[in-house]
A and B are shown apart, each in its own frame.
Chain A
Amino acid sequence: MKFGVVVFPGSNCDHDTYYALKEVYKLEVDYIWHKETALSSYDCIILPGGFSYGDYLRPGAIARFSPVMQSVIKFAHKGGLVLGICNGFQILMEAGLLPGAMLRNKTLKFICQDVHIRVEDNQNPFTTLCRKGEVLRLPIAHKDGNYFADARMMEELKKNQQIIFRYCTPDGTLTEEANLNGALDYVAGICNRERNVLGLMPHPERCAESILGNEDGKRIFDSIINYLSEEK
């Protein structure tokens, strides 16, 4: 089982993601510089958080033209697992692998704090071990996490159960107060129709070790690892 963490100029959660997989899980993982294009030896590609290309133009707008992205698109179309965290999620949307776009947070502020998200679906490789309705506490750190999709896209997302995580209160209730960035329909994470590409704004890699005081992020990594080991 081999993971690849893509590094764009301006990525800044690449080390945390690499560390979680390498040191916490003792798995094989490589950094993949954004100019590389060979991905066939990997089982899961992760686009990490950060500010690729300084968020110039729009978050993810320039990174999608990096050479590696053509390979990520091919990898995803062949069924490979692709996880986009925060800026990685934004890049996946700009690249057309996930529907929707991010607007500036409703408060116009950069928000860096723990939030709660509800697992809405476990019929996908990224939440296989989670219960439907389970609440996870994960940190967010972004200014552009106000999810938007037009009415037609939203209908498709709901119809195909592509909304995987929604912002909620600690007891799992959907409220506007818990939806700090103002995301449409409380969306915190979605997958593609084929369910092999997932993007989420919160950072599981920042809470995947007990010394950090929170291991909820492991629920997602455990699920991916479980899915990949059952597949083999």
Chain B
Amino acid sequence: MKAKVFVTFKEGVLDPQGKTIKNAIVSLGFEGVEDVRQGKYFELTLDDLPKEKAGKLVKEIAEKILTNPIIEEFKYHIE
């Protein structure tokens, strides 16, 4: 089974890379993009665990190492 973890900056934390990407999008002539926040994506291949147990494991890993809770937050789903 696979867990997909998406890490982004928290609301209110400056994202200079996101800003630069947004400026590039605008300068390419695309319209309608208000803001860009960039982040990280992790794919974890897990042993076949009960879904609830896998969720708990992934959450703990994300909190402990994949993110720095001062600046980042995460979402995950398990497939």
Instruction: Indicate which residue in B13, B20, B66 contacts A108 across the interface (CB closer than 8 Å).
Output: B20
Q: Given that A57-B66, A61-B65 are contacting pairs, would A104 and B16 also be in contact in the complex, using a CB cutoff of 8 Å?
A: yes
Determine whether the beta carbon of A103 is less than 8 Å from that of B16: yes
Interface size range on B against A: 10 to 19
Q: Given that A104-B16, A108-B17, A108-B20 are contacting pairs, would A58 and B70 also be in contact in the complex, using a CB cutoff of 8 Å?
A: no
Which of B16, B17, B66 has most chain A Cβ within 10 Å? B16
Interface of A is mostly: loop
Instruction: Indicate which residue in A57, A101, A105, A107 contacts B65 across the interface (CB closer than 8 Å).
Output: A57
A94 in contact (CB, < 8 A)? yes
Interfacial chain B residues near A93, Cβ < 8 Å: 70
A148 in contact (CB, < 8 A)? yes
Contact flags B51-79 to A (C-beta < 8 A → 1, else 0): 00000000000000110101100000000
Contact flags A135-162 to B (C-beta < 8 A → 1, else 0): 0000000000010111001000000000
Instruction: Indicate which residue in B14, B20, B66 contacts A146 across the interface (CB closer than 8 Å).
Output: B14
Q: Given that A57-B66, A100-B70, A103-B71 are contacting pairs, would A148 and B13 also be in contact in the complex, using a CB cutoff of 8 Å?
A: yes
B20's closest neighbor in chain A, by CB?
A: A108
A22 in contact (CB, < 8 A)? no
B5 to chain A, nearest CB (A): 12
Determine whether the beta carbon of A61 is less than 8 Å from that of B16: no
A15 in contact (CB, < 8 A)? no
A106 in contact (CB, < 8 A)? yes
Q: Given that A57-B65, A61-B65 are contacting pairs, would A150 and B17 also be in contact in the complex, using a CB cutoff of 8 Å?
A: no
Question: Which B residues fall within an 8 A CB radius of A?
Answer: 13-17, 20, 65-66, 68, 70-71
